[in-house]
Amino acid sequence: MTLQHTSKFILFFLLIFVSYQTMAEVCYLDDGKKHSDCERLKISDKRLNTEYKKLVSVLDKDQIAVFKSSQRKWISWRDGQCNQSVEKSSCTNSSCEAVNFNNCMSELTDHRIKEFDGFLEDMSGAIHRKFEFKNQ
């Protein structure tokens, strides 16, 4: 494995690990039970990672760097949006907050998957727009 491939693997693993850690922190709270909203988030996250791999497989080195930068910005934006959603909610316990957070994460992740599909349909446009995401 070349240094370039090793670096890509490590970066990809870190992105997945961060997403997984975020999910692990919110899926099991006060009651210790698995929540269906958490399962939905896991499915969405898995689909996002699959689409992510598809996109990376058709990009060159420079395009991958731009795409990964966009994805990091999107993850930060998504997490911020969902944290704000919890803060604005009328939840009075951590289980309610977890459901709110997970639902927000799922919805925004599903929207990003649709954006990935659009990138694949119009790759030259996506490259020109630097794989930007649309704030909802």
Q: Kindly report, residue by residue over 18-47, the tens digit of the pLDDT.
A: 444 444 444 554 555 555 777 888 889 999
pLDDT class of 6 with cuts at 50, 70, 90:
low
* pLDDT at res. 17: 47
Dist CA 136 CA 124 (whole Å): 23
Q: pTM higher than 0.75, yes or no?
A: no
Tell me which long-range contacts 93-96 makes (C-beta under 8 A, separation of at least 24). Answer: 93/30, 94/29, 94/30, 95/29, 95/30, 95/31, 95/35
CATH of domain 3-128: 1.20.1270.180
